[in-house]
Amino acid sequence: MGDKIAIIVHGGAGAWNLASARLVTAITACREAAQAGQQLLMAGGSALDAVETAVRLLEACPVLDAGRGSYPNRNGDIEMDALIMDGRTLDSGAVAAVQRIRYPISLARRVMQETKHALLVGAGAEAFADQIGFPRCETADLLVPEMETSPSAGPYGDTVGAVALDATGNLAVATSTGGMRRKMPGRVGDSPLVGAGGYADNRTAAVSATGHGELLMKIVISKQVCDFVAAGLTAQAASETAIRLLAERTGGTGGLITVDRFGQVGIAFNTAAMPYAFSLGDGKIVDGR
Ligand code: ASP
């Protein structure tokens, strides 16, 4: 328990062009998402509600690879992955390779809360959405042509995520992505996988990852950060150490945001940039990239 609240969000670690208007838009979206989460936490809201609310705002942002703005796969379809996890119970919910969903993170939460399962994929996840009356959209509603053609976009690296600590000491994470640009149909990255794209445990920390999914999953990177926190590292040192491990063991690039059970945050990446924003308690929103 504690009176500290904290939230941190990211808009993906990748080959960002530091001079691009896209990066400015992404940072602004991160600020808005962090602020919405902070307001919710300050009003006594839960960490789960804060991360879901923040990620929905990022999914709506057209320059980020999640929800609207997701990269199409090789067939021109948009297949999205999302994960939410509750650090109090270790419950998680995820969807993978889902199509025609505006806010995949909210569908992931419904999987967590309304099924006995942790991960639903493809047609089955879409059938579940229809069964519970979850709003569907058209692929055209998600497609943002500039995302496909933008010279400043890399193959990956604009996935979104949020981690939060609420006033009752609960931690939560949410991560959402359209995955890699022009991926093979059916390809699923780290984002919806517990321990890889995110992890939250009230005993240690909540972590959201971004970057080259096939490599992030090799070291189960988000759980690795929690294990480093359990071993006594600060949120910042644990995040930096995990990114070093990623580079050393896999040659991979990516980024991490972390909040530990004391409300201390960590931010690390080894890519050109990773737009982020955070707030501690009722403090000002701090952004960076
Ligand atoms: N990690 C995501 C994936 O591999 C990509 C990203 O972070 O942008 O699907």
Task: Name 248's Cβ contacts closer than 8 Å, sequence gap at least 6.
Answer: none
Q: Could you give phi then psi for residue 174, rounded to 5 degrees? A: -140, 135
Task: Give per-residue pLDDT as tens, 235-288.
Answer: 999 999 999 999 999 999 999 999 999 999 999 999 999 999 999 999 999 999
Q: How far is the CA of 24 from the centre of ligand 1 (A)?
A: 20
Flag whether pLDDT at 151 surpasses 60. no
Known catalytic residues are 159
**C-beta of residue 62 within 8 angstroms of C-beta of residue 144:** yes
Confidence class of residue 164 from pLDDT cuts 50, 70 and 90?
Answer: very high
**Angstrom distance (rounded) from CA 260 to CA 200:** 9
Q: Which of 10, 64, 80, 180 to mutate to test the pocket of ligand 1 (most atoms within 8 A of CB)?
A: 180
Q: Which of 61, 63, 65, 159 to mutate to test the pocket of ligand 1 (most atoms within 8 A of CB)?
A: 159
Task: Give per-residue pLDDT as tens, 44-54.
Answer: 999 999 999 99
Confidence class of residue 146 from pLDDT cuts 50, 70 and 90?
Answer: confident
pLDDT of residue 3: 61
pLDDT of residue 21: 92
Q: How far is the CA of 282 from the centre of ligand 1 (A)?
A: 31
Q: Where are the domains of the chain?
A: 6-207
Q: How far is the CA of 187 from the centre of ligand 1 (A)?
A: 11
Task: Give per-residue pLDDT as tens, 4-39.
Answer: 999 999 999 999 999 999 999 999 999 999 999 999
User: Which is the closest atom of ligand 1 to the Cα of 158?
Assistant: 8
Confidence class of residue 66 from pLDDT cuts 50, 70 and 90?
Answer: very high
Confidence class of residue 1 from pLDDT cuts 50, 70 and 90?
Answer: very low
Structural tokens at position 106: 């909210």
Q: Indicate the average pLDDT of the chain.
A: 95
Q: Which residue has the tokens 């359990």?
A: 230
**Angstrom distance (rounded) from CA 268 to CA 210:** 11
**Angstrom distance (rounded) from CA 78 to CA 53:** 22
Flag whether pLDDT at 154 surpasses 90. no
Our CA angle for 128, 133, 139, nearest 5°, is 75
Q: Which of 81, 95, 210 to mutate to test the pocket of ligand 1 (most atoms within 8 A of CB)?
A: 210
Q: What is the mean pLDDT of residues 112-137?
A: 98
Structural tokens at position 59: 């999914």
Pocket of ligand 1 (CB under 6 A): 12, 14, 65, 156-159, 177, 179-180, 189-191, 210-211, 213, 216
Q: Give the chain as a 3 state SS string.
A: CCCCCEEEEECCCECCCCCCHHHHHHHHHHHHHHHHHHHHHHCCCCHHHHHHHHHHHHHHCCCCCCCCCCCCCCCCCCCEEEEEEECCCCCEEEEEEECCCCCHHHHHHHHHHHCCCCEEEHHHHHHHHHHCCCCCCCHHHHCCHHHHHCCCCCCCCCCEEEEEECCCCCEEEEEEECCCCCCCCCCCCCCCCECCCEEECCCCEEEEEEECHHHHHHHCHHHHHHHHHHCCCCHHHHHHHHHHHHHHHHCCCEEEEEEECCCCEEEEECCCECCEEEEECCCCCEEEC
**C-beta of residue 179 within 8 angstroms of C-beta of residue 190:** no
Q: How far is the CA of 44 from the centre of ligand 1 (A)?
A: 32
Flag whether pLDDT at 221 surpasses 90. yes
User: Which is the closest atom of ligand 1 to the Cα of 197?
Assistant: 1
Task: Give per-residue pLDDT as tens, 73-118.
Answer: 999 999 999 999 999 999 999 999 999 999 999 999 999 999 999 9
Q: How far is the CA of 211 from the centre of ligand 1 (A)?
A: 5
Flag whether pLDDT at 127 surpasses 70. yes
**Closest C-alpha among 5, 3, 13 to residue 34:** 5
pLDDT of residue 126: 98
Q: What is the mean pLDDT of residues 140-152?
A: 79
